[in-house]
Amino acid sequence: MPNLIDGRAIAEKVYVDLRTEISELKSKGVTPGLAVVLIGDDPASRAYVRSKDKMSRVLGLHSVKLELPESTSQAELLARVEELNRDPAIHGILVQSPPPKHIDEAAIVRALDPAKDVDGFHPMNVAKLAMGDPTGFVPCTPLGVQRLLIESNVEIPGSHVVVLGRSMIVGKPVALLLMQKVKGGDATVTVAHSRSKNLPEITRSADILIAAIGRAYFVKADHVREDAVVIDVGINRVEDKNDKRGYRLVGDVAFDEVAPKAKAITPVPGGVGPMTIAMLMSNTVKAARQSL
């Protein structure tokens, strides 16, 4: 069997470092503050927000959980965001995605103070990532993927990384991140997607395959070469009558058939997911540090 990359264990290592940094900031009179805004009552979004709020409190951050009804208007939401932009006790703001359909999510992201955009989606932070400016904020999931690779002693410099998926949430930013001329970078990156011709041939060329296409079990054994490192970003619900919830969470990778070929692989759940929250906490602490 391959080496399982344990996202929960690596997230705990991140939290050990963060606790030291949080303590140092508090000694200077600064308690990092994170505000998470939830619009509506989507069960998955509510669970994510609850996890983020809980971890904020465990680490000793100042945590604000703002729950707004689904009927909240664009103007009302923008006004709340502006209040948080002006609040000196809040260093990081996250508006949980996806919002209700009547909300223009891009406009909300643009309204965030870039210095508080700990999700890393504001155009200014996207530009800083592209330029290699370390003062910007990198989206949490790509940052978590990079940290998983570093902590697992995966050789990134010179490796061929294939990113399967081109979203602004994962695909594009993780490609930019891993090609940077920094520790945890210097990779040769190919971005592929569902429309790519000869897709299995492309993915089989990867030393490191990052699956972020959003389709359950999309990556099969014939997509992966022997001894590749496979990072499964996908979180998909599939029906499971044996589970009391009626479903279970699976990744974009057909784990049982891919794992025997892989040198190392992340499970779902327990791989990338815990790192996303850890990197949100890390970005919030970074925002607080940069506010000094």
Residues with a catalytic annotation lie at 52, 96, 119
Q: Which residues pair with 191 in a beta bridge?
A: 163
Task: Name 214's Cβ contacts closer than 8 Å, sequence gap at least 6.
Answer: 165, 167, 234, 236, 252
Dihedral angle at the C-alpha atoms of 109, 113, 119, 124, nearest 10 degrees? 80
How many whole angstroms separate alpha carbon 34 and alpha carbon 243? 34
Six-digit token string for 89: 């006790």
CA 189 to chain CA mean position, Å: 19
Residue whose C-alpha is closest to residue 140's, from 1, 254, 250, 286? 286
Q: Name residue, tokens 């902590």.
A: 151
How many whole angstroms separate alpha carbon 200 and alpha carbon 157? 23
